[in-house]
Structure 1
Amino acid sequence: MTKFVIYLRVSRHSQGESGLGLEAQQRDIDIFLSTYVNDPELIATFTEVQSGADNDRPELAKALALVRTTPGAELLVAKLDRLSRRVSFIAKLLEDKRVRFRVASMPHADAFQLHIYAALAEQEREFISRRTIAALGAAKARGTKLGGLRPHTDLRNAALKAQADARATKLGTILAPMREAGKTYAQIAEALALMNVPTARGGRWNDVTVARALRRVEFTA
């Protein structure tokens, strides 16, 4: 029997109040527990509304303290970025001999893979931020008015587009070779599921989402 301390996190109060972000995380955790663990014991669940860039989070501190003082207990999060968006924080936890943690969406990942994934994710976020700034600068140079009645709309849209483009570029290194090798959309979806690669919304791949992603890759290239 494996003991788990569950940690859920959303960045905004609106996500916490709506339950959408929390529901998605709980769904992934339920899938993990029912599929990859025999007879799990749930000790406690801690929920936090705070940015993942903050290392000082009271609920996470409580969850980690419980893991450290409960023999055989592991911290369980839905996705790695729910634990932290900083690779330095992840690395420090991986070095803590008193803490073991699992990521529901990456059920077979070992410590080395988690460290690499955290580092790549941090680099991707930095790139998206720089790309957004460049996009806004180019829009301003063209005379596009930024702001108005909804001052954050242009910034948000630019950030979302930059994020989608960066994800498409990253996916292209996975999808394109499989498609060129003659794999069907369904076969590619199955391969992505085996590699624990989630869709942009955290769901499972199918032939439709694969086709849509490939179109996005071709558009971005």
Structure 2
Amino acid sequence: MEKFVIYRRVSTKRQGDSGLGLEAQDRDIRIFLNSYAEVPFEVLGTFTDVESGSKADRPQLQAAMQLARQEGAAVLVAKLDRISRSVAFIAGLLEDKRLSLRVASMPYADKFQLHIYAALAEQEREFISRRTKAALAEARARGKVLGGLRKGTAERNAAARAKADAFAEKVLPTISARKEAGASLQAIADELNALGVATARGGAWHPSTVRNALGRS
């Protein structure tokens, strides 16, 4: 029988109290268990941390991993960044022969693929950070007044634009290829949703979001 220890993580107490973030994680984990897990399976426990993904000493994560090792179970997370945003930390977990890691949003990914994905995600975050700083510097060089906005608004807006641009660059080759092959915007959106690829904001694809991604090319 396949055994799982579920691990969830949110970054702030507000998210933990409201359920924001946890509901989405529960949904993805439920989809995985219903569609991809071997039958029968057993869930041994659910552990939740309200901590930043940059912290390695999260108590609930440590408890989840200890239980998984003891029972020969897999730690199941909704997305890889719920475990950590550090490629070094994830690499260490993947090298642990007593520990198995399953990611609901990547149900068929093996350890090598998870390692590569973590490395690419870390590079993308670094690039977004650099792009945000460059965008702010360019705005200041053009004489654009940023001080009139509420504190942090300009930085958040620039970060959101940078994230959307970087995400569009990542998915654009796939979208463009499907569009050139004659697929409609709705068909492309349906395909991305079926593959479990979320938008830059973590939502579902619609014809309008596909059009917006193509417009960023």
Give the structure-1-normalised TM-score.
Answer: 0.90
Number of residue pairs aligned between Structure 1 and Structure 2? 216
The more displaced of 10-19 and 122-131 is 10-19
Deviation at 1:159, TM superposition (A): 0.7
Secondary structure class of the residue paired with 2:109: coil
Equivalent position of 1:23 in the other structure: 23
Equivalent position of 1:50 in the other structure: 51
Deviation at 1:40, TM superposition (A): 2.2
Matches within 5 A, 1:4-15: 4-15=4-15
What are the ranges of 5 or more consecutive residues in structure 1 without an aligned counterpart? none
Deviation at 1:68, TM superposition (A): 1.2
- Aligned mate of 2:213, from 196, 207, 217: 217
Deviation at 1:189, TM superposition (A): 3.7
Deviation at 1:58, TM superposition (A): 1.4
Give distance in 1, aligned partners of 2:18 and 2:140: 35
Partner AA of 2:69 in structure 1 = R
In the alignment, does 2:173 pair up with 1:179? no
Give distance in 2, aligned partners of 1:65 and 1:191: 38
Q: What is the RMSD computed on CA atoms of the aligned residues?
A: 1.8
Equivalent position of 1:40 in the other structure: 41
Equivalent position of 1:61 in the other structure: 62
Q: Is the CA contact 1:147–1:153 (under 8 Å) kept in the aligned structure 2? A: no
Matches within 5 A, 1:118-197: 118-147=118-147, 150-193=150-193, 195-197=195-197
Equivalent position of 1:88 in the other structure: 88
The more displaced of 127-136 and 38-47 is 38-47
Partner AA of 1:67 in structure 2 = A
The 3 A distance-change label for structure 1 pair 30 and 192 is same
Deviation at 1:134, TM superposition (A): 0.6
Give distance in 2, aligned partners of 1:13 and 1:147: 30
Q: Is the CA contact 1:172–1:214 (under 8 Å) kept in the aligned structure 2? A: no
What are the ranges of 5 or more consecutive residues in structure 2 without an aligned counterpart? none
Secondary structure class of the residue paired with 1:3: strand
Deviation at 1:193, TM superposition (A): 4.5
Equivalent position of 2:104 in the other structure: 104
Give distance in 2, aligned partners of 1:201 and 1:6: 24
Over residues 28-63 of structure 1, what are the superposed CA-to-partner deviations in whole Å (9 max), with x where a residue is unaligned? 111111111223211111111111122221111111
Secondary structure class of the residue paired with 1:20: coil
Deviation at 1:70, TM superposition (A): 1.2
Deviation at 1:76, TM superposition (A): 0.3
Give distance in 2, aligned partners of 1:215 and 1:190: 13
Partner AA of 1:34 in structure 2 = N
Partner AA of 2:107 in structure 1 = P
Over residues 66-119 of structure 1, what are the superposed CA-to-partner deviations in whole Å (9 max), with x where a residue is unaligned? 111113x11000001111111111111111101001001111111111111111
